[in-house]
Structure 1
Amino acid sequence: MSAATTGIQDRYPTRVVAETRPDLIERTEPAVWPGWTQGPATPEELRAHEENGFHITRGLLNEEEVRSFRDELTALTRDPKVRADERTIVEKESDEVRSIFEAHKISERVEKLVRDPKVLDHARQILGSDVYVHQSRINYMPGFRGKGFYWHSDFETWHAEDGLPGMRCVSLSVALTDNHPYNGGLMLMPGAHRTFVPCLGGTPKDNYKSSLKEQRIGVPAEEDIALLAERHGIEQFTGPAGSALWFDCNSMHGSGSNITPFPRSNVFIVFNSVENTPAEPFAAERRRPEFIAARDFTPVHY
């Protein structure tokens, strides 16, 4: 049973056939919600987030913290038990580790980062409420063979396959390696978060098993990507290790492959408002596993 069949309004229909695809949908929700005034985010950062759909915090982690994270993450990739865990996703061709999900349950350092006031209160400021972790993961993009991700909005998938009703969700990407313009850094379209792009095609059974390696369903049509790029332009998240990117759930973003010798890795945490908890999926037969889309909505505290 889908969320739509239970009477919950679907404000962002997607995964449809071409004949019934609606036009691009202008968003009505804010990117920065009222309700939480105390925290580390500056007024300038919050204005940038509302206008562009993202902002950058430099130096969220210091050099020692970055080094500790990298040491732990390297150990995780070499642990046979971690590699054999269903929460670990490997590259389609090279068999190298691409992502480890539920990172805050696997890594004590990630768990502490989630509860750190400079992170937790920042998320609360953006979403205007208490928050819980919808998803967390460690992402690796090895040198020479790291594959990118095509243009997409995370919300499209979280709405279609996880049942998130609205756009009250924010992602934090903390760089554990230097992000150069040439080693597969994330690209974003500033301001495109105000537009939802319905996508074509139904959701295959257990789509997550292939989409986490290479996303084919839930990606915008090329003409829609071209339109948004012409309207908004493209910026890239670059900077030294320890930098952090906060970006809205509906930000249009993607990354190219990494053919340089310089690997890229990051900690990725998705905070969702406790007032935006998921229903049943809007465009899939059943929910994705909880290690990808949490169903424990307990608010995070220090």
Structure 2
Amino acid sequence: MTTTRTTDHYPTRHHVEAEAAPTPRTHPTVWGTDADGPFDEAALDEHERHGFTILQDFITPTEVETFTAELNRLASDPTLRGDERVITEKTSGEVRSVFQVEQLSEQIDALTRDPRLLHRARQLLGSDVYLHQTRVNYMPGFKGTGFYWHSDFETWHAEDGLPAPRAVSCSIALTPNYPFNGGLMVMPGSHQTFVPGIGETPDNNHAESLKEQTVGVPDEESIADLAHRCGVDQFTGPAGSALWFDSNIMHASANNITPYPRSNIFLVFNSVANTPVEPYAARTPRPAHIAARDFTPLH
């Protein structure tokens, strides 16, 4: 059930660009301690500073093969044609993402409760967690299109009603992430600044934004300022690597014009103390397959 929105600590989707000044984050990035899970104190301190952590060999080669087979099955499943959970590329029509994937794959459903993920998510967020969003992403060779600079939390706050950036994403690579095949770029430390968007949220904005986001993106001046202050890093590594990143970190990906495809499993863990209320900058919340309304803790 959606509840009335709380105090808005992160106003966004302003009508006037002059009103959309970036503001400092008012909530922690790491809510737990080294006694709460597998990250030691040094790793938690680094995650607090940078807003992301890369773990090599997070899953085994055998697991990579298993999950890759699942992604191939989902992309070719004729019963999913036309399903609202399947997002296709704007130009080529190839599958770009499949949402709510834990309901479509027993293997991925089990992965969401794997201690390797669950214990880290609980530690970073300092509480029990549930899945705010799940999806698998495909970036085919030659035709994969990227995403412009954005903060996930800006959208989750504006359109889903998350009160605070007390959420963390885990992206597990099923293919090598090279510097040249559309790998995710992040600005270390940018998660400490909230950059609001400009303009009113259209109804059913998700229908277009999941293919190409144009509403809720930061202005170029803010991106340039963050880049000059924070720099730009990139998630690279072999298949099986995992990127844990804060919901408010500024990130983007370029088009993939190489022959090397890139695919990943993307899981968003949200604190049970941060469940959505009414959207802060949209008339209605996005559908449940994009932003879950079942807040049952994972066990």
TM-score category (smaller protein): over 0.9
| Structure 1 residue identity aligned to 2:110 | K
Report the more deviating stretch, 85-94 or 43-52.
43-52
Query: For the residues of structure 2 that align with 1:247 and 1:295, how far apart are their CA atoms?
Result: 22
Query: For the residues of structure 2 that align with 1:265 and 1:43, how far apart are their CA atoms?
Result: 31
Task: Give 1:108 deviation, angstroms.
Answer: 1.1
> Residue 109 of structure 2 corresponds to which residue in structure 1?
111
Whether 1:210 aligns to 2:213 is no
Q: Where do 5+ consecutive residues of structure 2 fail to align?
A: none
Query: For the residues of structure 1 that align with 2:15 and 2:196, how far apart are their CA atoms?
Result: 10
Whether 1:138 aligns to 2:131 is no
Whether 1:86 aligns to 2:84 is yes
TM-score when normalising by structure 2: 0.97
> Residue 11 of structure 1 corresponds to which residue in structure 2?
9
Task: Give 1:20 deviation, angstroms.
Answer: 5.8
Over 3 Å counting, the alpha-carbon distance change for 1:19 and 1:211 in structure 2 is closer
8 Å contact 1:183–1:263 — kept in the other structure? yes
SS at match of 2:290: coil
8 Å contact 2:89–2:211 — kept in the other structure? yes
> Residue 166 of structure 1 corresponds to which residue in structure 2?
164
Query: For the residues of structure 2 that align with 1:70 and 1:8, how far apart are their CA atoms?
Result: 41
Report the more deviating stretch, 256-265 or 41-50.
41-50
Query: Which one of the candidate residues 55, 58, 73 is aligned to 1:57?
Result: 55
Q: Deviations over 1:156-203 (max 9, x none)?
A: 000000000011000000000000000000000000000000111110
SS at match of 1:174: strand
8 Å contact 2:34–2:41 — kept in the other structure? no
SS at match of 1:231: helix
| Structure 1 residue identity aligned to 2:291 | A
Q: Deviations over 1:70-126 (max 9, x none)?
A: 111101111111232110000000000000000111111111111001110000000
Whether 1:279 aligns to 2:277 is yes
> Residue 224 of structure 1 corresponds to which residue in structure 2?
222
**Where in structure 2 are the equivalents of 1:1-302 lying within 5 Å?**
6=4, 8-18=6-16, 21-34=19-32, 37-301=35-299
SS at match of 1:37: helix
Report the more deviating stretch, 54-63 or 224-233.
54-63
Q: CA RMSD in A?
A: 1.4
Q: Where do 5+ consecutive residues of structure 1 fail to align?
A: none
8 Å contact 1:83–1:97 — kept in the other structure? no
Name the % identity.
Answer: 59
Over 3 Å counting, the alpha-carbon distance change for 1:39 and 1:260 in structure 2 is same
8 Å contact 2:20–2:197 — kept in the other structure? no
SS at match of 2:243: strand
SS at match of 1:84: coil
Over 3 Å counting, the alpha-carbon distance change for 1:56 and 1:153 in structure 2 is same
Q: Deviations over 1:198-239 (max 9, x none)?
A: 111110010000000000000000010000000000000000
